[in-house]
């Protein structure tokens, strides 16, 4: 009996030793011989982590709850939120735009009685820049000329107040409030900003429904509110997209000197000389002025602004104010793809803008040859007519492409 126990105990000991030996060999081979499996999670500078994404709970727009438990609605929301794997690191640029421009937009929305969530409508319309679309919409709020005039903005060959951020914001508020008077619903009012009040009314009548989420609309309008919600979530809860928390610390508004003008200006250059600055500075900070003159037979009061500190660096503001025609981002199915495309384009081609002070009076074509740009571009950048030439002391905007 004792012998049997001895042999049994020795067998167990050998078994344990063999198990330990095989385990150590397996760990050694696994660690140093067999390469690890590839990581399927995408990273960009360790700043973005994408794991189990879902629609935020209790999602709402202007206090109106989104019925995200409905399968079709949830599917459309997911398309806007998660059609791509991760948010690009360059989306930081959009946060910086918000820090510059939300301090201008938010107070006006509050004064006009429009919910704060509508600032995200402005984000999806223009990415917070004075862009112009091929369809003729322009400015931060992408107003068409007819809509802009209808809400009190001046749009003609000399003045285009769609490029005046504050005035355009008030016009957009008037449009939104008119829609709310008709629908009594902020969600439908947002949709009407995209489709028009009449377009939403026709859809409601034909489909016998007054609920945005039940209406069958064109592709763009049908996803419009969902896209607003995606951007709202990006700014308010960036961690939901795996983006490290970015706190929106608003930048201070630019301190301006304001000159009120109630008469015609025959030469913007001469006016600039009178107030002690250059015509280039006036054009930079007042992009709604389209020409070197301002005819004003009606004695309308215009406010022309120049910064109190002309030497301060306001490059970010100026890039947004001077967005060129056709620069508007054509939105993809979801804001993720849009930002990725915009960021990739930005990395590929960068614009460098300088202010050049003319040294001597000379033909503009001579100056263009010296600066290695075209005369046509100089006239376009500075909104000069075909007869204006380079005059000593004038400041001209010159752009170069860095590839």
DSSP assignments along 73-87, one per residue:
HHHHHHHHHSSSS--
User: Hey, what are 113's tokens?
Assistant: 């009685």
**Model confidence band, residue 111 (pLDDT cutoffs 50, 70, 90):** very high
pLDDT at 347 over 60: no
Give the whole-angstrom CA distance, residue 62 versus residue 371.
51
For the chain, the farthest-separated pair of C-alpha atoms sits apart, in whole angstroms, at: 123
* Whether residue 131 sits in one domain with residue 90: yes
User: Hey, what are 208's tokens?
Assistant: 């016998």
Give the CB-side neighbour count of residue 139, counting CA atoms within 13 A: 27
Percentage with pLDDT > 70 across the chain: 74
* Whether residue 118 sits in one domain with residue 225: yes
Give the CATH number for residue 386.
3.10.350.10
Residue 341 has what pLDDT? 39
| Residues of the domain holding 8 | 1-36
> By the 8 A CB rule, do 158 and 290 touch?
yes
* Whether residue 93 sits in one domain with residue 29: no
* Whether residue 176 sits in one domain with residue 92: yes
User: Hey, what are 72's tokens?
Assistant: 């079709």
Specify if 262 maps to a domain.
no
User: Hey, what are 187's tokens?
Assistant: 């969600």
Give the whole-angstrom CA distance, residue 122 versus residue 321.
14
Residue with tokens 């794991």: 51
* Whether residue 222 sits in one domain with residue 156: yes
Distances from the Cα of 93 to the Cα of 44, 62, 100, 120, 237, angstroms: 15, 26, 11, 15, 17
* Whether residue 76 sits in one domain with residue 24: no
Give the whole-angstrom CA distance, residue 204 versus residue 179.
14
Whether pTM > 0.75 for this model: the answer is no
User: Hey, what are 76's tokens?
Assistant: 């459309």
Question: Residues 77-96: what's their mean pLDDT?
Answer: 64
Specify if 120 maps to a domain.
yes
Residue 383 has what pLDDT? 76
Residue 290 has what pLDDT? 93
**Model confidence band, residue 342 (pLDDT cutoffs 50, 70, 90):** very low
Residue 3 has what pLDDT? 42
> By the 8 A CB rule, do 316 and 100 touch?
yes
Distances from the Cα of 341 to the Cα of 344, 377, 400, angstroms: 5, 26, 22
**Model confidence band, residue 99 (pLDDT cutoffs 50, 70, 90):** very high
* Whether residue 231 sits in one domain with residue 98: yes
Chain CA centroid to CA 18, Å: 65
Q: Which residue has the higher pLDDT, 156 or 89?
A: 156
Residue 356 has what pLDDT? 74
DSSP letter for each residue of 244-268: PP----PPPPPPEEEEEE-S-BS-H
Specify if 52 maps to a domain.
no
Residue 332 has what pLDDT? 34
Q: From 263, 268, 259, 262, select the one nearest 293 (Cα to Cα).
A: 268
**Model confidence band, residue 381 (pLDDT cutoffs 50, 70, 90):** confident
**Around Cβ 287, how many Cβ atoms within 10 Å?**
20
* Whether residue 25 sits in one domain with residue 127: no
Residue with tokens 């614009």: 351
Residue 403 has what pLDDT? 42
**Model confidence band, residue 109 (pLDDT cutoffs 50, 70, 90):** very high
User: Hey, what are 369's tokens?
Assistant: 């040859």
Specify if 336 maps to a domain.
no
Residue 348 has what pLDDT? 40
Q: Give residue-wise pLDDT tens across range 193-216.
A: 999 999 999 999 999 999 999 999
> By the 8 A CB rule, do 146 and 127 touch?
no
> By the 8 A CB rule, do 72 and 114 touch?
no
* Whether residue 130 sits in one domain with residue 27: no
Specify if 46 maps to a domain.
no
Question: Which residue intervals of 217-334 are DSSP H helices?
Answer: 219-222, 224-236, 268-274, 279-285, 315-321
Structural domains of the chain, count: 3
Q: Which residue has the higher pLDDT, 132 or 333?
A: 132
Specify if 304 maps to a domain.
no
Q: Last residue of some domain: 218, 241, 264?
A: 241
The pLDDT mean for the chain works out to 79
**Model confidence band, residue 261 (pLDDT cutoffs 50, 70, 90):** very high
Residue 66 has what pLDDT? 86
Give the CATH number for residue 130.
1.10.530.10
**Model confidence band, residue 102 (pLDDT cutoffs 50, 70, 90):** very high
* Whether residue 143 sits in one domain with residue 30: no
């Amino acid at each position: 009996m004792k012998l049997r126990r001895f042999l049994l105990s020795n067998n167990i000991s050998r078994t344990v030793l063999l198990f330990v030996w095989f385990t150590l060999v397996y760990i050694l081979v696994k660690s140093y011989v067999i390469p690890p499996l590839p990581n399927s999670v995408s990273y960009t500078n360790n700043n973005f982590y994408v794991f189990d994404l879902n629609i935020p709970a209790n999602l709402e727009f202007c206090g109106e709850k989104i019925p995200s438990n409905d399968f079709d609605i949830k599917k459309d929301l997911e398309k806007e939120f998660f059609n791509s794997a991760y948010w690009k690191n360059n989306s930081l640029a959009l946060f910086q735009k918000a820090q510059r421009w939300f301090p201008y937009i938010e107070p006006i929305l509050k004064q006009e009685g429009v919910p704060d969530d509508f600032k995200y409508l402005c984000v999806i319309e223009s990415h917070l820049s004075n862009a112009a679309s091929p369809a003729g919409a322009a400015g931060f709020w992408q107003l068409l000329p007819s809509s802009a005039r209808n809400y009190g903005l001046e749009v003609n060959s000399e003045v285009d107040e769609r490029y005046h951020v504050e005035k355009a914001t008030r016009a957009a508020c008037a449009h939104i409030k008119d829609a709310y008077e008709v629908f009594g619903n902020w969600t439908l009012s947002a949709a009407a900003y995209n489709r028009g009040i009449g377009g939403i009314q026709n859809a409601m009548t034909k489909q016998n429904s007054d609920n945005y989420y039940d209406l069958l609309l064109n592709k763009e309008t049908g996803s419009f509110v969902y896209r607003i919600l995606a951007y709202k979530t990006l700014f308010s809860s960036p961690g939901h997209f795996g983006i490290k928390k970015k706190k929106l610390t608003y930048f201070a508004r630019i301190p301006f000197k304001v000159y009120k003008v109630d008469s015609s200006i025959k030469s913007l250059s001469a006016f600039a000389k009178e107030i002690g600055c250059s015509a280039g500075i006036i054009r930079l900070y007042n992009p709604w002025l389209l020409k070197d003159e301002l005819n004003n037979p009606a004695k309308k009061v215009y406010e022309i602004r120049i910064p109190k500190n002309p030497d301060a660096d306001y490059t970010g503001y100026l890039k947004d104010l001077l967005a060129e025609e056709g620069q508007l981002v054509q939105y993809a199915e979801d804001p993720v793809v849009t930002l990725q495309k915009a960021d990739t384009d930005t990395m590929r081609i960068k614009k460098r803008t300088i202010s050049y002070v003319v040294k001597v009076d000379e033909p503009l074509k001579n100056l263009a040859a010296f600066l290695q740009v075209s005369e046509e571009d100089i006239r376009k950048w500075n909104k000069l007519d075909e007869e204006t030439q380079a005059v000593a002391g004038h400041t001209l905007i010159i752009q170069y492409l860095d590839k």
